[in-house]
Amino acid sequence: MRGKHVLIVGGGVAGLSAAIELADLDIRVELNEKSNFLGGHAIGYACKAIDNTCVKCGACMVEEKLQRAVSHPNINISVGSQTQGISKNGRFSASVRRQALCIDPEKCTNCGLCSNRCPVNGAIIKSFSKNNHPFYAINIAKCLYFKDRSCSICCDECPEAAIDLDNSPSEYTIEADAVLIAAGFLPFNPRNKPYGYGRFKNVVTALELENMLKRTGRVKKPSDDLLPQNVAFIQCVGSRDAKLNHLWCSKVCCGSALRMARLIKDRQPETEVTFFYIDVQTFGKDFEQFYREAREDIRMIRAIPADIYETENKALKVNFVNHPLHQTREEIFDLVVLSVGITPGEDIGNLSRIFKLDTDQFGFLKSAGEDATVSSNGVFTAGAVRGPMSIAESIASAGSAAWKIVKYMGGRDLKFD
Ligand SMILES: Cc1cc2nc3c(=O)[nH]c(=O)nc-3n(C[C@H](O)[C@H](O)[C@H](O)COP(=O)(O)OP(=O)(O)OC[C@H]3O[C@@H](n4cnc5c(N)ncnc54)[C@H](O)[C@@H]3O)c2cc1C
């Protein structure tokens, strides 16, 4: 379909997958990602294979999509970019704002000197994937240059003169025949629950544990960097919660947490793992065997803790009701992992206003003409922006959206393999 252009909003696994599907058909894709890096949440997930046996967590699929998208000649990628407005007169015309690009991708060699010399922790951030180039980005919220111009050591140290902290944001227009919104989700913020997240160092989210496993391969206590003797997972944090009016199940958290729990037992067998849950949601046809094996290593407690207190030595006292006996119990853990749920993305309001899309009863995006084979207005949605879904489901949803876009643009005879 030479000559056709599609704008994709969001460079997570859904946006990347749709971009590849369309670009393989000679369609020009403009992929706009608002953060500094491509890959969305799932690029930070660790492979959870045990003894080199795949447990189908999906993490490797994201890396593969990212690698293909960044090298595809028909995909033009803009990170740090967000659509501000859109008009339609036959084709779409989108106005896009791109934040200042402080590191020039053409010059940067990913040597890491900027990051090594930076005096402020977190002012230069690293991607989770070497397929993101540059691998580094300036965090404007923490960089001293953006605060009071007192430091520009990264510019002085860069041997390629790739860093320009005075670079300004830019605005430009994209013309497109169709638009795909793949802006993903927002993990539930557990500060709204009585588990001490943000106050107790050793209470982390499942996403933070994923990132720790991906970067270091081990699980350590943030308070002292030592291995924990015992870890508790608490499921359904922000999902299936009537008090929050979050009645939906996030679907992926049980599988993800159980796989991480097994990985911990495999790599750190001395660490005890306890799993607090309401009921375990199944995932995939191999689930029964996986769950049976998991229960041999992991202590399963069917209860959701009420609250957590910190002890003097930074351990965590977890209170819960032991159901068969209806007794309140307290147990001490070194590390607590909160399985935070999937909630509608923070830009949903803006996206729904700009692209004239409705939200469903929970606040996720609906496609216009969702049930029809061809959307009537040329704006489509894919991935977790539509509701909780796994990596594999996000890829499938992206494939389906790409097919609908091709139909909409007139390529009715095309078939996907
Ligand atoms: C705790 C937890 C554990 C999980 N574990 C697993 C697992 O083990 N296996 C599995 O299959 N799935 C897992 N998932 C689900 C998985 O994260 C999702 O399926 C996947 O991330 C969805 O991809 P996506 O591209 O739709 O969204 P995202 O990953 O959220 O990516 C969306 C992208 O869009 C960008 N964006 C947002 N707004 C805009 C905008 N306005 N303009 C431009 N760009 C924008 C974002 O910056 C982001 O890069 C887990 C989820 C959670 C919460």
CATH number for the domain spanning 325: value is 3.50.50.60
At residue 153, φ and ψ (nearest 5 deg) are -60, -35
Considering the chain, what percentage of its residues have pLDDT values greater than 90?
Answer: 81
Number of domains in the chain: 2
Structure confidence by residue, pLDDT tens digits, 241-283? 888 888 888 889 999 999 999 999 999 999 999 999 988 877 6
At residue 137, φ and ψ (nearest 5 deg) are -145, 150
For residues 265 and 381, state if they share a domain: no
Strand ranges, E, within 298-404: 299-301, 307-310, 316-322, 327-333, 335-340, 342-344, 379-381
- Quote the ligand 1 centre to 16 CA distance (angstroms): 11
Q: Which helix (H) or strand (E) holds 206?
A: helix 206-216
For residues 321 and 226, state if they share a domain: yes
Structure confidence by residue, pLDDT tens digits, 107-120? 999 999 999 999 99
In the prediction, which pLDDT does 283 show?
A: 67
Give dist(CA 254, CA 236) in Å, integer. 8
**Reported confidence tier of residue 413, pLDDT bands at 50, 70, 90:** very low
Identify the CA nearest to 293 among candidates 249, 263, 315.
263
**Cα 32–chain centre separation:** 16
- Quote the ligand 1 centre to 389 CA distance (angstroms): 9
Bond preceding residue 134 cis, omega within 30 of 0: yes
Residue 153 in domain: no
- Quote the ligand 1 centre to 147 CA distance (angstroms): 31
How many other C-beta atoms can be found within 10 angstroms of the C-beta atom of residue 204?
22
**Reported confidence tier of residue 415, pLDDT bands at 50, 70, 90:** very low
Higher pLDDT, 286 or 283: 286
> Residues of 324-342 as b/e, b for ≥16 C-beta within 10 angstroms?
eeeeeeeeebbbbbbbbbb
Contacts of 204 (CB under 8 A, 6+ apart): 197, 212, 222, 335, 336, 337, 338
The arithmetic mean of pLDDT across residues 48-76, rounded, is 95
Q: Tell me the pLDDT of the chain averaged across its residues.
A: 92
Q: Which residues surround ligand 1 with Cβ inside 6 Å?
A: 9-15, 32-35, 40-42, 45, 57-58, 82, 182-185, 187, 206-207, 252-253, 256, 339-340, 342, 345, 347, 351, 383-385, 389-392, 394
Beta-bridged to residue 309, according to DSSP, are 317
For residues 314 and 356, state if they share a domain: no
Domain that holds residue 54: 5-99+169-184+345-408
Identify the CA nearest to 108 among candidates 72, 138, 150, 149.
138
SS3 92: strand
In the prediction, which pLDDT does 382 show?
A: 97
For residues 276 and 401, state if they share a domain: no
Residue 204 in domain: yes
Identify the CA nearest to 1 among candidates 177, 175, 174.
177
Helices (H) and strands (E) in the chain, counts: 10, 20
